[in-house]
Structure 1
Amino acid sequence: MIVAGIDVGGKNIHIVIEKDGQILEKGAGPAGVKKAETLEELYMDILKKAGLARKDVERVVATGSGAKRVMFANATIPDIAADALGVMRLIPAVRTIIDVGAEEARAIKVNPEGRVLDFATNDKCAAGTGTFVEAMARALEVSFDEMGMIALQSTQNLSINAQCAVFGESEMISLIHQKTPKPDIARAVMNAIAGRIGSVVRMVGLEKEIVLVGGMAKSPGFVDSLKRNLQMDVIVPEDPDYTGAFGAAGAAIAGMTTSMDD
């Protein structure tokens, strides 16, 4: 059985094509202003790379904030359910899922069967998400990837305001003017976000195994800061930003329908 899982976020689109539970091809791209057109192009490109035609895909399930824009999807699944299913397929022992993406962060608690028991999200302020890190990286004149690497070089524990993106950026600019080394500023940013996310995680309770997914899971500096904040080990799966799409593909295999949104 060939299926597709599509995760349409506020900033990026992730697509996974599977055959009999094995990934044939996957790909990602920016959501853009015209999300419907962008994801159609991305979907067709990934099918081509997999050597497939549209008719070969038996079922398509979409998730994410833009799931309804996937007009060719057979069904949709809530993003929290997709996260839980996607991570559960990869790491069955998971009990706490932390998803930190470009525009939102959330913590999800699941039982041994993968059922969502509780979840909590951060507020709508950009602080505490990947977008905040990207803004801070631009101010430091480094890339997102570099930000995560240089943070590991710091031995200082400076603090900045992560309750508000505007205040946080203002404090960081002050540190720049004070000639504070970039690694120290980068670590301060990661520590601030980790503190904010840690508060969200504690709303649902900490229970091993803890799995971190989303784009921020690819930042070594953030992973280190989060482990320190939680004082617990955190597992980062391969391709942590694809777990939503992977969960949607799992829903397609299971034959889940739009009734999951009810």
Structure 2
Amino acid sequence: MVTLGIDIGSTTSKCVLLRNGVDIVAKSLVPGGIGTSSPDRAVAEALEKSGLGLGDISYTVVTGYGRTNFKSADMQVSELSCHAIGGRFVFPKLRTIIDIGGQDVKVVSLSDSGKMVNFLMNDKCAAGTGRFLDVMAGVLQIKLSDIENLAAIADKPSSISSTCTVFAESEVISQLANGATIPNVVAGICDSVASRTASMVKRIGVTEQVCMGGGVAQNGGVRKAIEKSLGVPIAYSPLSQLFGALGAAIYAYNKINQVK
């Protein structure tokens, strides 16, 4: 039995094909989210990788911001639920998920049995999100993939105090004009994201095991800064950006088999 999970975010579309609720048959991640052709292209890519067709899919669940715009799925499920299911699948002892996507930050608290018991979401401001990092990288004329290495060689991280992306951009420019090095500014940006995120986590309560999900989870500079702010290790998996799609595929399997 093969199920399909689709996660349509603000900036990327992700798919996971799952066999019998446990084996990942194929996965895809395509830039572009709500209002684009990316969800359909992500599905097509996953099917091509697997050698399967739509007729081979037993059940499809869609999640994420763009779920209501995708009419081909059998069911729509909240991204919070799907991220919890997907995260717990990868990390069986997971209790706290920090999910930083393109436009929002979510913190989800799980019970010992894996049920979602609390959450916080910041979707009113781009500060601390993937969009924030994109803007900062553009100002510094660096690649997002350079952030971890640059932050690692900083000797005096700059203070980036603004929580607004526009004001933070001006602050970064001022730091550079005053002689701050790019590594120190990059480390300051990571610390700024970490401080904002850690305050959200602490409002819920830090219960280990803690992991990161979402696209920003791939950024080692931000992960390490959040670890330092929280004082706990943060688990990471190459599947972290696919938690939503993975959770949706598992939900689809459980729906067919009526697993609660």
Instruction: Settle same-fold status: TM greater than 0.5.
Output: yes
The aligned residue for residue 220 of structure 1 is 220
- Post-superposition offset of 1:147: 1.9
Q: TM-score, normalised by structure 2?
A: 0.95
| Alignment match, 1:59 | 59
Q: Which residue of structure 2 lines up, in the alignment, with residue 260 of structure 1?
A: none
The structure-2 alpha-carbon separation of the partners of 1:244 and 1:140, relative to structure 1 and needing over 3 Å to count, comes to same
Amino acid paired to 1:23: I
The residue type equivalent to 1:29 in the other structure is V
SS at match of 1:103: coil
Look up the match of 2:24: 23
Offset at 1:181? 1.1
Residue identity opposite 1:165 in structure 2: T
Query: Deviations for 1:6-46, whole angstroms, at most 9, x for unmatched residues?
Result: 000011101011112211111111225743x3321321222
- Asked if 2 retains the 8 angstrom alpha-carbon contact of 1:99 and 1:107, the reply is yes
d(CA) in 1 for partners of 2:24 and 2:33? 26
Post-superposition shift, 1:123?
A: 4.6
Are the equivalent residues in 1 in contact too, given 2:9–2:33 (CA < 8 A)?
no
Q: Is the 8 A contact 2:14 2:42 kept in 1?
A: no
Q: What are the within-5 Å matches in structure 2 for residues 99-248 of structure 1? A: 99-248=99-248
1:29-79 CA deviation, whole Å, 9 max, x = no partner?
A: 1225743x3321321222022101110011110100001122110111101
SS at match of 2:235: coil
- Separation (CA, whole Å) in 1 of partners of 2:141 and 2:178: 16
Matched, 1:50 2:59: no
Does structure 1 conserve the Cα–Cα contact (< 8 Å) formed by 2:16 and 2:24? yes
Q: Which amino acid aligns with 1:28?
A: L
CA contact (8 A) 1:122 1:197 kept: no
Paired residues of 2:97 and 2:107 also in contact (CA < 8 A) = yes
Task: Indicate conservation of the 8 Å contact 2:150/2:182, yes or no.
Answer: yes
Contact 2:88 2:114 (C-alpha < 8 Å) held by counterparts: yes
For residues 15 and 167 of structure 1, what CA distance do their matches in structure 2 show?
35
Structure 2 residue ranges without an equivalent (≥5): none
Matches within 5 A, 1:75-114: 75-114=75-114
AA in 2 matched with 1:116: M
Contact 2:35 2:66 survives alignment (8 Å): no
Change over 3 Å in CA distance of 1:114–1:33 after alignment to 2: closer
Amino-acid identity (%):
28
Distance, in Å, in 1 between the alignment partners of 2:195 and 2:38 is 35
Cα distance change of structure 1 residues 221 and 71 upon mapping to structure 2, 3 Å threshold? same
The 3 A distance-change label for structure 1 pair 154 and 58 is same
Q: RMSD between aligned alpha carbons?
A: 1.7
Q: TM-score, normalised by structure 1?
A: 0.94
Could you say if the C-alpha distance between residues 25 and 189 of structure 1 is closer, same or farther in structure 2, counting changes exceeding 3 Å?
Answer: same
* Kept after mapping to 2: 8 A contact 1:86/1:246: yes
Distance 1:58 1:124, change over 3 A: same
Report Cα offsets for 1:195-221 as digits up to 9, x if no partner. 000011111100111111111111111
Equivalent residues of 1:161, 1:167 under 8 A apart: no
Structure 2 distance, partners of 1:162, 1:253, is: 44
Q: Which amino acid aligns with 2:13?
A: I
Go from structure 1 to structure 2 and tell me whether the alpha carbon gap of 1:129 and 1:162 turns closer, same or farther (over 3 Å shift).
Answer: farther
